Amino acid sequence: MDKPNFRKEILNVLSGKTPATPPVGSFTTTPVLELMDLSGAARPEADSNPEKMAMLAFSQYANASFETLRYPFDVVVLAEALGCSIDPGTKARPPAVTKGIIGRPPVIPKIPELSEPPEALLEKGRIPAVLEATEILREKAGPKLPLIVGMEGPGDLATSLCGISNFLKWTIKSPHLVTRLVDLCTDACIVYGRECLKRGADVVVIADAVSSPVMISPDAFRSLIKPGMARIPKALGGKSVLHICGATDPIIADMAECGYDGLSLEESIKDLKSAVHTAHECGAAVIGNVSTSRTLFAGKPEAVKREAFEVLQAGVDVLAPGCGLAPETPLKNLKALVEARNEFCGRK
């Protein structure tokens, strides 16, 4: 019997079609230590070596039975390409920005990497490694497994460039600086995302933690970040998903209005059923949202299954972790997600 075409199923879900069986996978980072050991591809090498990156991504399917291949395993690739100083991390700790490139200017300076031609950005930092890993994965995955490439969104990228303190201060005192910087960062996301799709990725995931209502007000999101965020889906010319951390209930409608094919929601959202309804009204699929900290990291498989049932009953279209996985997340809990979906559908 032929194996299911998981790629087709994911693309159908993101095209507004209701699947007979909800797919299971991840649209957020998945740097699980057990997967590193089983695949023979560990960080930090897997963050910059295309072959190792592809091996670790493929292990999500080979060893966890996920129906998606999500990579890379951090969200500072664009920040590094634009000149931010990066701590490369360790096996258990992802790369992180240690210093931005913008201090306290009266205006946002011209950033060479974002000037013409924009394609020059694609030669910077680890972007070439991600693009090469995409080509390797496309060949290895064939036509039946979906490639999910993630990147930081324009708000997070802007924060990396100028520092979180400056960014939050400017949202109140100098919103014109934030608007200009987010606009530049949106262009970078589009250039990078387009090329990923061109090389063989199926879905681009934009992750933007700073857009969370726990970081900036919903009004600040609407006026300063949403306009850039809404430019991305059409400009990419392919499937896209938006992930914003935290309890995003106050901005669910705004997220859905941005035009992404799917919304990835974290477990801290207060009313998942309502969020699903709002997203579906705008034509967006919902992905999530089993707790990564309380359940997948610290719970037992039985707890994973219970929460997965609740999430599926709320109407999500893709069963997935609510956010990025902790490296120490037990592999058996990832497998429990797939088992839960199978049991849920068997009981319907």
pLDDT for the residue numbered 18 = 87
**Quick check: pTM over 0.85?**
yes
Does residue 57 register a pLDDT over 90? yes
- Of 118-122, 125-129, 255-259, 314-318, the one with minimum mean pLDDT is 118-122
Measure the CA angle with vertex 66, ends 155 and 156; round to 5°. Answer: 5
Percent of the chain with pLDDT over 90: 89
Q: What is the DSSP letter of 252?
A: H
For residues 26 and 70, the answer to whether their CB atoms sit within 8 Å is yes
Mean pLDDT of the chain: 94
- Helices then strands (H, E): number in the chain? 14, 9
For residues 337 and 319, the answer to whether their CB atoms sit within 8 Å is yes
Closest C-alpha to 226, from 199, 197, 256: 256
pLDDT for the residue numbered 117 = 53
Please give the single-letter amino acid code of residue 235.
Answer: A
pLDDT for the residue numbered 153 = 98
- Mean pLDDT for 127-138 is 98
How do residues 73-126 score in pLDDT, each as one tens digit? Answer: 999 999 999 999 999 999 999 999 999 988 765 455 555 555 545 678 999 999
For residues 288 and 310, the answer to whether their CB atoms sit within 8 Å is no
Measure the CA angle with vertex 78, ends 152 and 208; round to 5°. Answer: 10
pLDDT for the residue numbered 12 = 97
- Mean pLDDT for 54-67 is 98
C-alpha 251/C-alpha 83 separation (Å) is 31
C-alpha 78/C-alpha 333 separation (Å) is 31
Please give the single-letter amino acid code of residue 116.
Answer: E
- Mean pLDDT for 153-161 is 96
| C-alpha atoms less than 13 angstroms from C-alpha of 194 in its C-beta half-sphere | 16
Does residue 348 register a pLDDT over 50? no
